[in-house]
Amino acid sequence: MTDGPLWGVTNVTNFVISNLTADHVYTLTGIELVRKDHATATFLPAMVRPVADPGSTDVAGGWVLQVPQVTSYGTTTTTRVRRFLDRDTDGRRQESEDIVWVHIETESGATTDEYGFYPLNILIGNSSYPQDGWTVTDFAASANEWLSGCQRRFSLFTTATSTAVSRCSMLLGAASISTHRAHQYAFDLDTTSGLTIPAQMLSTAWTGIPAVAMPSGLRAGIMESPSKCGWRKILRNDAIGVVIDSNEKRLKTRPGQS
Amino acid sequence: MSLSSPLTTQAPTSLKGSSFSGVSFAGYAFLRLYLTADADDQAARLTLGSKIWDFTVNTSDTAAYVDIDLVAPTNNNHRRR
């Protein structure tokens, strides 16, 4: 936990209203502390962290070994973890959710990857989950209107399935963070139904996305299919919108988007 | 809380003498003062410890409150609404 930009006044030693103009009547009826639109939620916050080789298959980027590697009867289990969601609702950025990645390799070389995290639909549905100062609303339908050449849209609100692409879609699907009057759009991911995305993208390719957005192709070899793809920052502030478009059609933009 | 004249007679009883000593405002970017005057652009100053904000107050017809930017540097003479 670190001090955020809203840490502000932390210890009031005196509270004085003065320098009032003579011969005028001032009326004070109340005092409130307000956040306005400054509460934020950040998904995959490490995504914008630059790495030396974004296309590398080195899984170290963004992932931290959670427990020592375990080998038993020829089967090796490697458990890694990385940040999924940060919240900043009280002036301090807090790590709220992690993704746990368990990679299992048998003696014959067969591998299995399992991912564990709570998608937003679960977090929102859980009334005990802290939501002070922020809410999350699915604006997927609106986001989809901005994009062309999209065959399928996934959402952060979908339920986990067994396919890798669905897991990615839950991480990178469309959503927005609503804080009072403001909405920050988070992510959107579109792809064709036949496209599969290896799990390593979570730790390699996406971390290579620069903060300043220009349409660009992801490196070849990252995708398991030869589909062309492009990414674009379509959102404001620090939120990154990611679009994978197998047709590589030009994306529609709206005023104010970069 | 300390109020200077003539505000002392125009503030609700619940606010008079209220104590903010030792209170943390962390996590909140703005302090909203529902402070109005009988004419627009009347001067006022808020002091929180060593931080000072000079701002102007308007009639309730113009603005029902003034937002003080707690994160801004002291004495910024800046008002956000």
B6-65, pLDDT tens digit by residue?
Answer: 555 556 665 655 667 777 777 677 888 999 999 999 999 998 888 889 999 999 888 889
Chain A residues with CB-CB distance to B7 below 8 A:
17, 20, 26-28
Alpha-carbon distance B53 to B68, whole Å?
A: 7
Q: Count of domains in chain A?
A: 1
User: Is residue A215 in some structural domain?
Assistant: no
Quote the domain boundaries for residue A84.
2-208
Q: Which residues of B44-64 are buried (b: 16+ CB within 10 A; e: fewer)?
A: bbbbbbebbbebebbeeeebe
Q: Is the pLDDT of residue B68 over 80?
A: yes
A134-184, pLDDT tens digit by residue?
Answer: 444 433 333 333 322 222 233 333 333 333 333 333 333 333 333 333 323
Helix/strand/coil (H/E/C) assignment for every residue in A76-95: EEEEEEEEEEEEECCCEEEE
| Beta bridge pairs of residue A99 | A82
A34 touches chain B (CB under 8 A): yes
User: Is residue A248 in some structural domain?
Assistant: no
Cβ–Cβ under 8 Å, residues A125 and A156: no
Q: Give pLDDT, residue B77.
A: 45
Ranges A36-45, A170-179, A212-221, most confident: A36-45
| Beta bridge pairs of residue A216 | A231
B8 touches chain A (CB under 8 A): no
User: Which positions ≥6 away from A133 have C-beta within 8 Å?
Assistant: A35, A39, A89, A90, A179
The encoded tokens of residue A227 equal 């589909």
Would you give the distance in Å from CA A61 to the centre of its chain? 16
Q: Is the ipTM, as predicted for this complex, more than 0.95?
A: no
Q: Of A24-38, A124-138, A178-192, B50-64, which range is least confident?
A: A178-192
Interface subset of B 28-47, CB within 8 angstroms of A: 28-39, 42-47
Alpha-carbon distance B52 to A195, whole Å?
A: 58
User: Is residue A97 in some structural domain?
Assistant: yes
CB neighbours of residue A68 within 10 Å: 7
Single-letter amino acid, residue B43: A
User: Is residue A222 in some structural domain?
Assistant: no
Q: Of A26-40, A82-96, A185-199, which range is least confident?
A: A185-199
Q: How do strand A40-43 and strand A75-88 relate by DSSP bridges?
A: antiparallel
Using the 8-state DSSP alphabet, how is residue A206 labeled? G
| Beta bridge pairs of residue A79 | A67, A102
User: Is residue A71 in some structural domain?
Assistant: yes
Write the residue in B27, B46, B48 that is nearest to A90 by C-beta.
B27
Q: Which residues of A91-109 are buried (b: 16+ CB within 10 A; e: fewer)?
A: bbbeebbbbebbbebeeee
Contact between chains at B7 and A17 (C-beta distance less than 8 A): yes
Q: Is the pTM of this model over 0.90?
A: no
Rounded to a whole number of angstroms, the CA Rg of chain B reads: 13
Write the residue in A6, A19, A92 that is nearest to B28 by C-beta.
A6
Count chain A–chain B contacts defined by CB atoms under 8 A: 171
